[in-house]
Amino acid sequence: MLELRDISNIYSGLATQEGGDGTARFLRLSDLSDLKTGRAPKLATGEPPAVARALPIEEGDLIVAARGTATDVCQAGQSWLGAFISLDLYLVRPDPTKVDSGFLAAFLDLPETQALLSSNKQGTGLARLPKEALDKLVVPLPPMPKQRLIAELARSFHDEAALLQRLANLNSLLGREALARAFRAATAIKNS
């Protein structure tokens, strides 16, 4: 077992300057929430950050919510590559020689890990997870082949959940359309 900081680099998000003519893209806490509920996030745009610690999201990176009741964890999506993270997020860049990114995402999403992260949050309103708590999180490391198997299992459950969410969204649209047609038909008969 190693601490998270021993198997990955962890970066704090930064203040963003949204709007203007800037072409930099920024991932915000609300974007993670959108993704968790099955909605496609629309990244904000603005001026590129002028600090050295501003790293663009790369393939294999994990994005971790610093605030909120749950500690949302997402693997970097293709559409996020090159974007920067805002203040309420952490960028976790796993060392691929030590840990599989999918395995680490699955570990961070476990109920026990979520409970541990929640217990380390500070503040009243929208509690914040200190970076030090993330740094010191102890991660079990089975051999890489087992990590990859666990990562694939987690990915299959994630894909299934995404399909079920999409199906639920389509079913909701179908239901609303059926009701709208029923109302139109009932109104047309009454007005005839």
In this structure, which topology does domain 2-141 adopt according to CATH?
Adenine-n6-DNA-methyltransferase TaqI; Chain A, domain 2 (3.90.220)
- The rounded distance, in Å, linking the Cα atoms of 1 and 137 is 10
Which pLDDT score, from 0 to 100, does residue 39 have? 72
Burial 30-53 (b: 16+ CB within 10 A, else e): ebbeebbeeeebeebbbeebeeee
- The rounded distance, in Å, linking the Cα atoms of 120 and 130 is 7
- The rounded distance, in Å, linking the Cα atoms of 46 and 10 is 23
For helices 144-191 and 101-109, the axis angle rounded to 10 degrees is 60
DSSP letter at 37?
T
pLDDT profile of the chain (192 residues), mean per 10: 95 78 84 74 81 86 90 86 90 96 96 93 85 95 97 93 88 93 84 66
Q: Is 50 helix (H, G, I), strand (E, B) or coil?
A: coil
- The rounded distance, in Å, linking the Cα atoms of 33 and 71 is 10
Q: What are phi and psi of 108, to 5 degrees?
A: -65, -25
User: Which residue ranges make up each domain of the chain?
Assistant: 2-141
Q: Which residues, other chains included, contact 38 with Cβ-Cβ below 8 Å and sequence gap of 6+?
A: 162, 165, 166, 168, 169
Which pLDDT score, from 0 to 100, does residue 78 have? 81
3-class secondary structure for 54-106? CCCCCCCCEEEECECCCCCEEECCHHHCCCEEECCEEEEEECCCCCCHHHHHH
For helices 111-119 and 101-109, the axis angle rounded to 10 degrees is 70
Which pLDDT score, from 0 to 100, does residue 107 have? 97
Q: Which of 139, 143, 136 is nearest to 107 (CA)?
A: 139
